[in-house]
Amino acid sequence: MALIIAAPIGVFTILALPMHEALRQRDIRVCGYAWAKCRTYDYSEAVRMTQIEGFRDRDGKLSRRAGIVVDFADGRRWSSADTGDFRDSVDPELAAFLADRTCLPLEQAQTEVDIPKADSKAAQSPGSRRGDKSVVGETLGLEKPNCGAGRENPSPPAGGIRDNRDLTVRDKVERPVIPT
């Protein structure tokens, strides 16, 4: 009887072993369940970066699960809130790393649903690319010329990674957040 219950649990657990997300120097790599193909999100294709407070449950109550949502020119979206524990605040080291790699200002929203979808035509227009003004930067009048350009190995975030290995979300989530 125990084998009938334990065997399927073991099989499904083994299929979950390859699941991970890695924040690499040029992109974010997300590998899913079982044999699902890994997806990559190039930082150079990012058009918006938004910090969220959480999500709303069925009753409309805000459940706090802070994260950073990055929208890409092709309409895809990556969220750090999809991985890890429920937290009230975003790791400032993670926010600094993503801001450096995407060259985008960090916007604020209460939930991911509150963030408008990126218009892929506007995102791909001249002047909306990395190194120029971002689509968000144009509306705010912000400009970050040559942000992150020409830096193969950027300085690591303060108190964080001290070598050139990939930064995985798992590393970020398991590290305790010390308020400053």
- Model confidence over 35-44: pLDDT tens digits? 999 999 999 9
Distance between first and last Cα of the chain:
53
Per-residue pLDDT tens digits for 131-171:
443 333 333 333 444 565 444 544 444 444 434 344 444 44
Give the pLDDT of residue 1. Answer: 84
**Residue 64: how many CB atoms within 10 A of its CB?**
12
Residue 143 in any domain: the answer is yes
Beta bridge partner(s), residue 30: 21, 39
Residues of the chain short of pLDDT 50, as ranges, are 121-145, 149-151, 153-178, 180
Q: Any idea what DSSP says for residue 16?
A: T
Cβ atoms of residues 34 and 15 within 8 Å: yes
Is residue 168 assigned to a domain? Answer: no
Q: Which stretches of the chain are DSSP H helices?
A: 2-15, 92-102, 120-123, 135-140, 169-174
Asked if residue 34 is part of any domain, the answer here is no
Residue 60 resides in a domain: yes
Domain-embedded: residue 65: yes
Please check whether residue 92 lies inside any domain of the structure.
yes
Question: Amino acid letter at 10?
Answer: G
**58: number of Cβ within 10 Å:** 5
Residue 129 in domain: yes
Return the closest-CA partner of residue 148 out of 104, 108, 113, 180.
104
Domain total of the chain = 1
> 3-state class of 13 per DSSP?
helix
How crowded is residue 67: how many other Cβ atoms within 10 Å of its Cβ? Answer: 23
Given this model, what pLDDT does residue 107 score? 96
Would you state the pLDDT for residue 85? 78
Q: By residue range, what is the domain housing residue 155?
A: 44-161
Residue 146 lies inside a defined structural domain of this protein: yes
pLDDT value, residue 86: 83
Nearest to 144 by CA among 130, 156, 158, 154: 130
